Amino acid sequence: MNKICIVTGGSSGIGLAIVKTFINSDYTVYNLDIQHSSLGHFIQCDMSDVEQVHQAITQVISKEKQIDVLISNAGIHRSANIENTSEQLLDEVFSLNVKGAYAVTKAVIPLMKKQGLGSIIYIASDQAIIAKTNSFAYNLSKHALASMAKTTALDYAKYNIRANAICPGTIETPLYHNAIDKYCNESGANKADVHAEEAALQPLNRLGQPEEVAEYALFLASEKAPFITGSLQLIDGGYTTG
């Protein structure tokens, strides 16, 4: 019997790579996303809407009767310091990045408790560890996910439910390219030059790839990582060691 994995925000970027990797490892994967995808079992869901999330998880449970892995990945990035962070922008970032993770975790926990097992993985960021400029709301949200991993790990360890956060550095995704495009449009910089500069900032002299994060998630979700919980797992090419 295949294990059941739920991925939020699995239609692009890191989430899409996770969906592919888990399907290739014989998981039955449900993708909760607002953007349609033909890969896995797609459920259209606005992750910032708690009721929609609850209904989506109820739908999965009615079909599968079990949930082995939850990967909370859905998120957005907005660049701004605190002065340029409006209340609307702050709410937008927290509604998806934090409230979405809260909603889906709360929805799957009762079944995982009943099963006596489960692995919950939050896709956080190196910004759960360090700060970066013009990233006030995003940085706050990723620290919140790190906290969620730790508190969930402690509260549910007695039910054999593990919770961890993966903290990627600069990963080459559509989100990354959109951010670079926006910067180049505003500054007039050359994209190839900016891309090369970003790569040079990494000790390994390249950007990370979504598939590398996906493989890390697969390991953390597996029986090969039974004693890992409440942890923040960096995958940043050495960026935060400096």
Task: Give the active site residues.
Answer: 138
∠ Cα 20 57 234 (to 5°) = 50
Look up residue 16 and give its two tokens: 């899409």
CA dihedral 171→37→68→70, nearest 10 degrees, is 50
∠ Cα 184 188 190 (to 5°) = 65
